[in-house]
Chain A
Amino acid sequence: MRQADFRAALLDPSRPHPPGLTDPQGRPAGRRFNVYRNNVTVSLVEALKTAFPVLRKLVGEEFFAAMALEHVRAHPPRSPLLMLYGTDMPDFLARFPPVSHLPYLPDIARLELALRESYHAADATPVAPDRLAAIPPQDLANIRLRLAPALRLVRSDWPIHAIWVANMKEAPPPRTVTAQDILILRPEFDPEPHLLPQGAAPFIAALAEGKTIGTALDAAGDFDLNATFALLVSGGAIIDIATETSA
């Protein structure tokens, strides 16, 4: 037996069973091989169900299970770390004709992936708020902020925050189609998606790349800097402060 043949038949039910597999009397293995087929696909569909609770609500359990099975067969995991399985889901959804009328699904998948990455990201201790307060205003532009490893930025042309809240917290669904950007923060162990002030995402993205506050402000247009900073501080997202001269 070659494991390549075994693997191919596991994921493609239209293929014949690999040769040389038998029952105790030497007859073809039949249903015995299907135990493995079933174990593989059921367990991986379960992993996707756990990973994408909002997608499940949006498309319904039955549809999600059928779609997840197609996803599993097209994109089996590339790593034994199933906690991060599903990174192909946004692209899969974007190309899956039965959901082409729900164009926000790929962004919801990206949000759910980012929440899981945040959950498993490294711990970090935020800087004391008085360290931030102690920075002279004239120095602020030259400061670089190190952001928490669990911070994630998810940008969308769709109201993904409102959709997420409506499905996870039983709030009413969004009434208007507006672009929403989400900042995921994890003050302790539970990642929380926050709606970012409009226009703040380029600023956060630049900070995350290690740009100075001045450069990050230049990268963004008008946005509510105070509200954005308050969010970063309350979510424990700033874990170190470096001045320009040390860079």
Chain B
Amino acid sequence: MLDRQTEPGLPPAPGVGYKPQHFTALMQDPGPVRWLEIHAENYMGEGGRPIAQLRHLAERFPISVHGVGLSIGGEGPLDRDHLDRLRRLCDWLQPASFSEHLAWSTHDAEFLNDLLPLPYTEETLARVCAHVDEVQTRLGRKMLLENPSVYLDFAESNLGEIEFLSEIASRTGCGLLLDVNNVHVSCTNRQTDARDYIDRFPIDLVGEIHLGGHDEDVDDAGAPLLIDSHAHPVVDPVWQLYERTISRAGPLATLIEWDNDVPDWPVLADEAERAARILDRVTA
């Protein structure tokens, strides 16, 4: 097992999604947290408190910039203005990592603020690869692409998700972000085996892990329908999948994502501590 530094530079340790209400706690005692992730779009203003806080944090922690608005899976061209904003942010912040999603969110200049699904076909594969190429060229850095949470299937899909992601990485040189909660959510919703997904995932390409919470619902037939919400603690089946992942991969930068109904700092720090224990146990 390789004890590698994850590409392109996040420490193989726990991180958390940064929320402004945790600023003071993080600066005083970050506990097990060694790095932070921000949503790029929240730091694209010209100045003010968000940028000032980010400058302070970046002096102390490696930062991962995670985009939620680039619409890499969109049918239309990428938004050049948005790509320029992203480049400006990466240029001054010099983050340790940049990642985005296998999803679309913009259509005809309308931004729909959700990670919308796409079918997996040769046509969509070529389009996503062109967009990833454009992002990496414009930013002058390698990016990580994240596996989505999906709720439905496309009749026209004729490639598997792992095959699709692997081929993107192979054609563009990008890395992958493996969201283990998304694996649990998608595999439950598609009624497939999440352990098999983890075992088949191209683990050497993974630069970062995401862990988060989800909501539970049912579909019209009464089958479980899990919804990615980042509003709860990580559930036990996801921790087990995470341990399985780390056992295969060795230590990897691992993010606790909690974006809605954000808890007080000690609750989030406990989740990071649990990830730290698994990282220690598996690598001991």
Contact = CB atoms under 8 A, between A and B. Distances in A.
A81 interface: yes
Given A3-B104, A83-B45, A20 B154 contact: yes
B113 A29 contact: no
Nearest to B104: A3
A83 B50 CA distance: 11
Interface string B218-229: 111101010100
A80 interface: yes
A11 B105 CA distance: 13
Contacts of B82: 79-80
Interface in A68-107: 76-83
A81 B41 contact: yes
A198 interface: no
Contacts of B192: 24
Given A31-B219, A79-B111, A81-B41, A21 B46 contact: no
B154 A83 contact: no
Interface string B26-69: 00000000000000011011111111100000000000000011
Contacts of B42: 83
Contact-residue size bin, chain B (C-beta under 8 Å from the other chain)? 35 or more
B97 to A, nearest CB: 20
A30 B113 CA distance: 21
A186 B46 CA distance: 14
A26 B155 contact: yes
B79 A122 contact: no
B182 interface: no
Contacts of B221: 23, 25, 27
Interface in B148-199: 151-156, 189-192
A24 B220 CA distance: 12
Given A22-B152, A24-B153, A78 B111 contact: yes
B152 A33 contact: yes
Contacts of B47: 120-123, 149-150
A191 to B, nearest CB: 9
Nearest to A47: B113
A52 B100 CA distance: 29
Contact of B153 (A21, A31, A78): A21
Interface in B92-125: 104-114, 116-117, 119
Given A32-B225, A33-B152, A83-B44, 14 more contacts: A1-B119, A10-B116, A23-B221, A24-B192, A26-B155, A30-B219, A32-B152, A35-B217, A36-B151, A39-B114, A43-B113, A43-B114, A81-B85, A189-B49
The 9 A-B residue pairs whose C-beta atoms are closest, nearest first, are: A80-B69, A120-B45, A122-B46, A189-B49, A123-B47, A30-B220, A32-B152, A29-B152, A122-B47
26 contacts: A1-B119, A3-B104, A3-B107, A7-B110, A11-B112, A21-B152, A21-B153, A22-B152, A23-B152, A23-B221, A27-B220, A30-B220, A32-B225, A43-B113, A76-B111, A78-B109, A79-B82, A80-B69, A83-B41, A83-B42, A83-B45, A120-B50, A121-B46, A123-B47, A123-B52, A189-B48
Interface of B: 41-42, 44-52, 68-71, 74-75, 79, 82, 85, 104-114, 116-117, 119, 151-156, 189-192, 217-221, 223, 225, 227
